[in-house]
Amino acid sequence: GAGVSQTPSNKVTEKGKYVELRCDPISGHTALYWYRQSLGQGPEFLIYFQGTGAADDSGLPNDRFFAVRPEGSVSTLKIQRTERGDSAVYLCASSSLGQGDEQYFGPGTRLTVT
């Protein structure tokens, strides 16, 4: 597709369950970012991939959160033992990585933990 896509668009899960959120970046974009947006807040950085490697994972809140990008394209954000506080919109963005590069955002996955 032409833009960044994310699946599912909505995910409802029970506290304690495991979830996976998927991001398909724009073809050819080497940089991929995950953000979390809580209600009434701006996006909060989670992790940045350059190619297959996580170049900066300093935003992951704890070890229940993990992300992979095994082939340098699609990325999966994984959350173990979900908590109600994990409820948020999870945004993915990609960029071609240059000076002042623009990040192109997907529509997000709304995660609700009950």
Partner 1 sequence: AQSVTQLGSHVSVSEGALVLLRCNYSSSVPPYLFWYVQYPNQGLQLLLKYTSAATLVKGINGFEAEFKKSETSFHLTKPSAHMSDAAEYFCALRGSGGYQKVTFGTGTKLQVIP
Of 16 and 77, nearer to partner 1 (C-beta) is: 77
Phi, psi of 101 (to 5 degrees): -60, 145
Q: What angle do CA 83, 31, 70 make, to 5 degrees?
A: 65
25 sits near partner 1 (criterion: CB under 8 A): no
- The structure tokens 């369950």 sit at 17
Mark the segment that binds partner 1 (CB under 8 A) among 15-23, 68-76, 77-85, 97-105: 97-105
**Which residues does 45 contact at the CB level (< 8 Å), separation at least 6?**
33, 34, 35, 58, 59
Of 66 and 104, nearer to partner 1 (C-beta) is: 104
65 sits near partner 1 (criterion: CB under 8 A): no
Q: Which residues bind partner 1 (CB under 8 A)?
A: 4, 33, 35, 40-45, 48, 50, 55-56, 58-59, 91, 93, 99-100, 102-108
